[in-house]
A and B are shown apart, each in its own frame.
Chain A
């Protein structure tokens, strides 16, 4: 008897709760880009993209302890962009070139000028223009 009363009140409160949750506050998003009222599908897509970012960050050696905070500071659009383009997005680094990088760079430049017949630095090259 008591139990069934409890059960009934439980269901009544569930229905009440469900009905009262009709109303919603209009989000600021609505005035930013009127056409983009976010649908449930898009929300799901954004959630997945945040998980994707987290997975890629782990792969790329980011400290796992701070990954969630880093992603939380991104807007939905930003998170989606990182999830899809992280490989190709530029990453600003430092103002100096590594010594090895510089050596390789000079080597390639001289190789090209050798091949063009403008220089003769390496004896294994043969100019491809002037014979």
Chain B
């Protein structure tokens, strides 16, 4: 009888232990984290019902404004008007991103979960996350900027609601974040780059910024990315195209030629350089470039053929 009871006690203890370890966050603060804590001085905007997306963008915009020469393009009222969908009583993730871009911030997706979050915070980049405060079957969605962490006490610092720099236990935070698929965005001014993303994703995010009407600002971002990855021809290609589209033809030409210096056979850069030279009536130069370019990709070859055809046509006209 006594033996059975002892057995049950052990079983219970074992069960509890298992339960605790199963619930503990799988990746608490990474060992490699350079500092034990971080606190960013992000200005606080008091919460207003249904407008947490707008407030979150505003807080980050004010943060970057306070740090250096960033000027937000929109005020809080305009952000409100761009984010709220009355029938849904809140803001879509896509619209949070779209509004942040309209405000002049490049939107980088947070990839790589908690480790990436800590890496960005350590680099003084606050992150806006989506949290599910309720249950998976009864979701209560909420956006909040994460502004710091404390390894010793296992806490995350956030402008969660009414109190600035509120400390949340890591466990609570991770539970809420997990239920929102660990969604987060790093909102940065054009001259800052995220530290946790691969260059392909960085380029994609800057291009999204450019294609939604921020071409001049995107040029600054491409240049910053070029400084970090000086030999990446895709970044240079995006930069050159942006120059071309803003009619900064000298800079565009120089940049296309830089790509060809790194990769002499680059068909896309050759095509666009030839196209640019054609637009300046420098047909002989254009022809020389296009004649020594070809591509295995059918679509690219089609573009090359079209450019070549035009150059030959214009040369023919000139002769007449």
Task: Report chain A residues within 8 Å CB of B144.
Answer: 95
Across the interface, do B90 and A91 meet the contact criterion of CB distance under 8 Å? yes
Across the interface, do A20 and B313 meet the contact criterion of CB distance under 8 Å? yes
Across the interface, do A78 and B98 meet the contact criterion of CB distance under 8 Å? yes
Interface size on B, residues (CB 8 A): 72
Interface membership of A74, Cβ < 8 A: yes
Interface membership of B27, Cβ < 8 A: no
Distance in angstroms from A76 CB to nearest chain B CB is 8
Interface membership of B87, Cβ < 8 A: yes
Of A23-31, A111-119, A120-128, which binds chain B? A23-31
Distance in angstroms from A87 CB to nearest chain B CB is 9
Across the interface, do A94 and B50 meet the contact criterion of CB distance under 8 Å? yes
Across the interface, do A74 and B94 meet the contact criterion of CB distance under 8 Å? yes
Across the interface, do A89 and B51 meet the contact criterion of CB distance under 8 Å? no
Across the interface, do A86 and B92 meet the contact criterion of CB distance under 8 Å? yes
Distance in angstroms from B154 CB to nearest chain A CB is 22
Would A91 and B49 be within 8 Å (CB), given that A32-B204, A72-B212, A78-B97 are in contact? no
Within 8 A of B (CB), among A46-69: 57, 59-63, 66, 69
Across the interface, do A89 and B92 meet the contact criterion of CB distance under 8 Å? yes
Interface membership of B182, Cβ < 8 A: no
Task: Report chain B residues within 8 Å CB of A59.
Answer: 87
Across the interface, do A31 and B86 meet the contact criterion of CB distance under 8 Å? no
Alpha-carbon distance A63/B140, docked complex (angstroms): 24
Alpha-carbon distance A75/B107, docked complex (angstroms): 12
Across the interface, do B52 and A26 meet the contact criterion of CB distance under 8 Å? no
Task: Report chain B residues within 8 Å CB of A32.
Answer: 200, 203-204, 207, 234
Alpha-carbon distance A59/B85, docked complex (angstroms): 10
Across the interface, do A91 and B82 meet the contact criterion of CB distance under 8 Å? no
Q: Number of contact residues on A: which range applies?
A: 35 or more
CB-nearest residue of chain B to A95: B161
Contact of B89 among A37, A93, A105 (CB under 8 A): A93
Across the interface, do A72 and B275 meet the contact criterion of CB distance under 8 Å? no
Distance in angstroms from B162 CB to nearest chain A CB is 8
Interface membership of B53, Cβ < 8 A: yes
Interface membership of A73, Cβ < 8 A: yes
CB-nearest residue of chain A to B233: A31
Across the interface, do A62 and B102 meet the contact criterion of CB distance under 8 Å? no
Across the interface, do A92 and B52 meet the contact criterion of CB distance under 8 Å? yes
Distance in angstroms from A124 CB to nearest chain B CB is 24
Would A91 and B89 be within 8 Å (CB), given that A28-B237, A75-B212 are in contact? yes
Would A73 and B93 be within 8 Å (CB), given that A32-B203, A59-B87 are in contact? no
CB-nearest residue of chain B to A16: B317
Interface membership of A2, Cβ < 8 A: no
Would A24 and B213 be within 8 Å (CB), given that A59-B87, A89-B93 are in contact? no
Across the interface, do A93 and B85 meet the contact criterion of CB distance under 8 Å? no
Residue picked from A26, A28, A30, A31, most chain B C-beta under 10 Å: A28
CB-nearest residue of chain A to B297: A34
Alpha-carbon distance A93/B84, docked complex (angstroms): 9
List 8 A–B pairs whose Cβ atoms lie within 8 Å, in order of A's numbering. Answer: A22-B307, A61-B86, A70-B82, A81-B94, A90-B130, A91-B90, A92-B141, A93-B91
Counting from the closest, the 5 A-B pairs by CB-CB distance are A91-B90, A61-B86, A60-B87, A93-B90, A95-B161
Known: A72-B213, A93-B90, A93-B142. 17 other contacts (CB 8 A): A26-B300, A32-B200, A32-B203, A73-B98, A74-B95, A82-B95, A89-B92, A89-B94, A90-B90, A90-B93, A90-B139, A90-B141, A92-B130, A92-B142, A93-B50, A93-B89, A96-B47
